[in-house]
Amino acid sequence: MSGKGAMPAARRLESRHWFGKSCAGALLGFGLAVALSGLFAWLSPGGVEGNGGKTQFNMWLISPIWAGVLCFVFLFRDSLRAWLWLGAANLAAFGLLGAIRLVMG
């Protein structure tokens, strides 16, 4: 079907970029999980100096976030997009964490 009003074919996800996506998810996903856990520690009740249970919860919060990033990283079209989006997410999360630490610390 070609013509003036024809819709272009949707680009399908491919498995050829799996190694780059896996590396992006493992490296940048871990950084993102650490930053999000830190944000939770600073913004939740009790602050970063919470009791022992809160410290354990923050520590164990990293694993499911990291696993989630590792699962969803394969939805990117290619490895370059995974690196760029996760890199931007890391910059935003660590920037916000640094700003909150300055304000609340």
Digitized pLDDT (tens) for each residue of the chain, 105 residues in all: 555 666 666 666 666 789 999 999 999 999 999 999 999 999 988 777 767 788 888 899 999 999 999 999 999 999 999 999 999 999 999 999 999 999 987
Which pairs count as long-range contacts for 92-96, CB under 8 Å and 24+ apart, including other chains?
93/31, 93/32, 93/35, 93/36, 93/39, 94/31, 94/35, 96/35, 96/39
What is the three-class DSSP state of 79? Answer: helix
